[in-house]
């Protein structure tokens, strides 16, 4: 039924991460973990997937001797998110008409 | 959050809830407005007193107070940098705007040092304050700052009708209306929002 929706984004945690990143310049891993209420392990895996398809950029750095992971949405990520929302609207439009 | 299939309706709800969470992320800038507002307000009033009432020659030395503001901004900026987990476009724009404003104030001081501080300093400074608060108010959608900016522009023109000494009082009035009052209102709004969360 949902075969047209981007399978990368049609997953709760990945969609949550992209939705958070769409409205900010960049966010730390810990911020995403806190807001999505997810486990570090699961979040790492989903962030890796989003990075592999080029939807987000991930930078690792050190701040006060602590490792820090910073995530930022890419242009491809923004386009994919916009397309996903459009597809979603089409689905919802169909279901309300039916 | 589990990995499972979910409906388009749930998708939409998830997007909305995440986007609304990032709205809370906007940091509270009112502390900078308050510190800078009070420093420049005190400096204007003190300069007026020293020059007009006590006839002190080096009345302009009160502006050394801005060093306190610079020290505070650097300290506070570093402290926030350590705690920061997310950077919003609003925070970024505010930082760029006030960084640019600081440079503009510095450049204006250099221009007026060359041309003579005599008549025009306060109208120009009030003009710049007006720009800074008007744009800040527009970025964070806070009306008292927008109105403060508009009033500052009116005061900038009005201050050209009085002599140099009284321009200082216009400067103080502009800071009170465009900085200090909106900053206190912003604080109250923020505190109320925190209570309601």
SS (H, E, C) B114-161: HHCCCCCHHHHHHHHHHHHHHHHHHHCCCHHHHHHHHHHHHHHHHHHH
Q: Which residues of A touch B139 (CB under 8 A)?
A: none
Average pLDDT, rounded, for chain A: 86
In whole angstroms, how large is the CA radius of gyration of chain B?
Answer: 21
Antiparallel, parallel or unpaired: β A66-73 and A26-28: antiparallel
pLDDT, position B148: 93
**Residue B24 CB partners (closer than 8 Å, separation 6+):** B197
Residue, of B189 and B27, whose pLDDT is higher: B189
Q: Which of A2-6, A66-70, B80-84 has the highest mean pLDDT?
A: A66-70
pLDDT, position B26: 60
> Is a pLDDT exceeding 60 seen at residue A97?
no
Cα(B73)–Cα(B150) distance, rounded to whole angstroms?
26
Q: What is the DSSP string of chain A?
A: --TTS-TTTSSHHHHHHHHHHHTSSEEEHHHHHHHHT--HHHHHHHHHHHHHTTSEEEEEEEETTEEEEEEEE-HHHHHHHHHHHHHHHHHHHHHHH-
Share of chain B above pLDDT 90, in %: 21
Angle, vertex CA B61, rays to CA B123 and CA B159, nearest 5? 15
Q: What are phi and psi of B156, to 5 degrees?
A: -60, -45
**Burial profile B26-36: b = 16 or more Cβ within 10 angstroms, e = fewer:** bbebbbbbbbb
- Tell me if chain A has a CB within 8 Å of the CB of B6: yes
Cα(B126)–Cα(B132) distance, rounded to whole angstroms?
10
Angle, vertex CA B109, rays to CA B106 and CA B112, nearest 5? 150
> Is a pLDDT exceeding 90 seen at residue A72?
yes
Mean pLDDT of B77-102: 85
Q: Which residue of A has its CA nearest to B16?
A: A19
pLDDT, position B81: 78
Share of chain B above pLDDT 70, in %: 91
pLDDT, position A98: 45
- Tell me if chain B has a CB within 8 Å of the CB of A48: no
Share of chain A above pLDDT 70, in %: 92
Antiparallel, parallel or unpaired: β A26-28 and B86-87: antiparallel
Cα(A29)–Cα(A45) distance, rounded to whole angstroms?
12
pLDDT category of residue A3 using cuts at 50, 70 and 90: low
Cα(B49)–Cα(B46) distance, rounded to whole angstroms?
5
Average pLDDT, rounded, for chain B: 84
pLDDT, position A96: 55
**How far from the centroid of its chain's Cα atoms is residue B167's Cα?**
20
Q: Which residues of B touch A45 (CB under 8 A)?
A: none
Mean pLDDT of A62-78: 88
- Tell me if chain A has a CB within 8 Å of the CB of B88: yes
Q: Could you report the per-residue pLDDT of A20-55, keeping only the tens digit for each?
A: 999 888 999 999 999 899 999 999 999 999 999 999
pLDDT, position B30: 79
For chains A and B, CB pairs below 8 A equal 80
pLDDT, position B110: 87
Minimum mean pLDDT range among B7-11, B35-39, B140-144, B146-150: B7-11
Q: 3-state DSSP call for residue B6? A: coil
List beta partners, residue B197: none
Nearest to B3 among A11, A28, A92 (CB): A11
**How far from the centroid of its chain's Cα atoms is residue A3's Cα?**
19
User: Residues B76, B78, B83, B85: is their CA dihedral positive or negative?
Assistant: positive
Q: What is the DSSP letter of B59?
A: G
pLDDT category of residue B77 using cuts at 50, 70 and 90: confident
Q: Could you report the per-residue pLDDT of B150-184, keeping only the tens digit for each?
A: 999 999 999 889 888 888 888 899 999 988 998 88
Residue from A68, A62, A55, A43 nearest A7 by CA? A55
pLDDT category of residue B29 using cuts at 50, 70 and 90: confident
List beta partners, residue A68: A61
């Amino acid at each position: 039924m949902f075969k047209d929706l981007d399978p990368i984004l049609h997953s709760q945690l990945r969609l949550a991460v992209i939705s958070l990143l769409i409205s900010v310049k960049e966010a730390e891993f810990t911020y995403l973990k806190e807001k999505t209420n997810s486990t570090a392990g699961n979040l790492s895996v989903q962030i890796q997937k989003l990075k592999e398809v080029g939807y987000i950029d991930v930078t690792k750095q050190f701040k006060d001797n602590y490792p820090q992971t910073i995530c930022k949405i890419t242009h491809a990520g923004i386009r994919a998110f916009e397309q996903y929302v459009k597809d979603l609207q089409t689905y919802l439009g169909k279901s309300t008409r039916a | 959050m589990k990995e499972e299939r979910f409906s388009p309706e749930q998708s939409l709800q998830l997007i909305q809830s995440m986007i609304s969470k990032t709205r809370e992320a906007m940091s509270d800038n009112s502390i900078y407005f308050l510190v800078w507002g009070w420093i420049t307000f005190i400096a204007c009033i003190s300069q007026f007193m020293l020059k007009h009432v006590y006839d002190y020659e080096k009345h302009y030395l009160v502006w050394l107070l801005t060093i306190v503001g610079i020290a505070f901004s650097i300290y506070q900026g570093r402290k926030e940098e350590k705690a920061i987990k997310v950077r919003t476009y609003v925070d970024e724009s505010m930082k760029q705007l006030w960084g640019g404003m600081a440079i503009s104030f510095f450049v204006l001081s250099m221009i007026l040092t060359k041309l003579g501080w005599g008549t025009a300093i306060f109208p120009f400074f009030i003009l710049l304050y007006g720009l800074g608060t008007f744009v800040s108010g527009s970025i964070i959608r806070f009306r008292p700052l927008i109105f403060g900016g508009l009033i500052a522009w009116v005061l900038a023109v009005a201050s050209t009708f009085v002599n140099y000494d009284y321009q200082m009082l216009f400067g103080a009035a502009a800071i009170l209306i465009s900085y200090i009052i909106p900053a206190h209102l912003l604080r109250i709004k923020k505190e109320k929002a925190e209570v309601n969360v």
